[in-house]
Amino acid sequence: MRLFNIKPQIYGYKKLNDFFSDFNVTKKDLVFTIEPLYEQFIRHNHIEADFIFLESFGIGEPTDTMIDSIKDSIDLSRFKRIIGIGGGSVIDIAKLLCLSNNLCISKIAENISDLKKEKELVIIPTTCGTGSEVTNISVVSFEKRGTKKGIVSDTLYADFAVLVPELLEILPYNSFIFSSIDAFIHAAESFLAPKSSIYTDMFCLEAMKDIINGYMLMVNKGKNCRFEVFEKFLFASNFAGIAFNITGVAAVHALSYPFGSKLHVAHGESNYVFFTEVFKTYTDLNPGGKIAELNKYLKSILGIRSPVDVYTYLEENIFSSLFPKKRLADYGVRKKDIKIFTDKVVKEQQRLLANNYLFLSEDNILNIYNSLY
């Protein structure tokens, strides 16, 4: 079993302009980003690279239609390097723009073993959640199928991951919360995964500690305190990404995919909906396994000395204080959708379910959906 690996070289800069200078960005570079970030951090620097903006092709998470439109709109052969500066959507699409073939995204997903990379890839995250700058995964929503799929290939690794804390300054509050909760979930799922090791555990535990400490600061002193700890959150997300790139993520992501795809709910928010219920189910089914170690660790960070369920405490005293969780029905889920979602998880998400702490039956999955309805 592979214990540890980091593929991209990781760089850090206080300011984005320092990156542009150090990496000698020129007309041979294509920068894929979002317009607000360009206006605030890039325009005044007169960078010679070509720029394209995500908003020109759609909003929200990557879809097959969006990606095909981007590939059709620009002559990618003119560029030697792709620089993706943005959140999960920008990063996932940037990875796919580096591939050598000109196939539509559905064909790419069907021919993963034949993928080849022809351009250098630099990824600069502007959220503190996906960890995608250090993973070989690109998640795409296939509109006609009504589901999401993770395209996994070592050709999707970035050559360089660059961390620039100042870029989090324009991150809206909701985006910050849901992306950072996503990072926390990455770390928690990775810690329990069958492929976890002493190496991945080290990154997971540090990531969870830094995120919870940041949240407690915000609960006690106000939401604007997040600006004081952006760097901590950015590195916590990176740590979690390093870990789950080796271990994979599991049932929380698997259950969130059909829900998020159908209702167009952002990835981090979708995972937030399912996290505590999945981990309560794990604890109920096998409380004496590795989850006991995780629960003890989380209680120590939170300062809990009573026998209260740690996930109930997290939800009621931390997460809900920062952003209250909604029921599935509040998003527009119909009762009949629950069986459809369950069937999709069982049929289409076995890659993720294989990473579960323990086996979840179809009835277990159905019960989780029902309990959140």
Whether the predicted model's global pTM rises above the 0.75 cut = yes
User: For all residues of the chain together, what is the average pLDDT?
Assistant: 92
Instruction: With respect to residue 124, please indicate whether it lies within any of the assigned structural domains.
Output: yes
* Residue 163 DSSP label: E
By three-state DSSP, how is residue 58 classified?
coil
- The pLDDT value recorded for residue 300 is 96
**Number of folded domains that form the chain:** 2
Which residues on neighbouring strands pair with residue 10, listed in sequence order?
A: 161
Tokens matching residue 214: 């940041």
Task: Return the CATH number at 232.
Answer: 1.20.1090.10
Same domain, 249 and 306: yes
Contact 199/223 with Cβ under 8 angstroms?
Answer: no
State what percent of residues in the chain have pLDDT above 90.
78
State what percent of residues in the chain have pLDDT above 70.
99
Other C-beta atoms closer than 10 Å to the C-beta of 347 total 9
Same domain, 147 and 192: no
Per-residue pLDDT tens over the stretch 162-193: 999 999 988 999 999 999 999 999 999 999 99
Q: Are strands 137-142 and 50-53 parallel, antiparallel or unpaired?
A: unpaired
Contact 186/236 with Cβ under 8 angstroms?
Answer: no
Distance CA(140)–CA(62), nearest Å, equals 5
Could you give the angle at the alpha carbon of 320 between the alpha carbons of 272 and 137, nearest 5°?
Answer: 20
DSSP string, 267-298: HHHHHHHHHHHHHHHHHHH-TTSHHHHHHHHH
Instruction: With respect to residue 272, please indicate whether it lies within any of the assigned structural domains.
Output: yes
Among 106, 135, 167, identify where a domain stops. Answer: 167
Per-residue pLDDT tens over the stretch 107-122: 777 777 777 888 999 9
Distance CA(210)–CA(232), nearest Å, equals 6
Same domain, 250 and 148: no
Q: Is the model more confident about 17 or about 116? A: 17
Q: Is the model more confident about 50 or about 261? A: 50
Same domain, 251 and 147: no
* Chain center to CA of 193: 17
Domain that holds residue 347: 173-372
- The pLDDT value recorded for residue 101 is 64
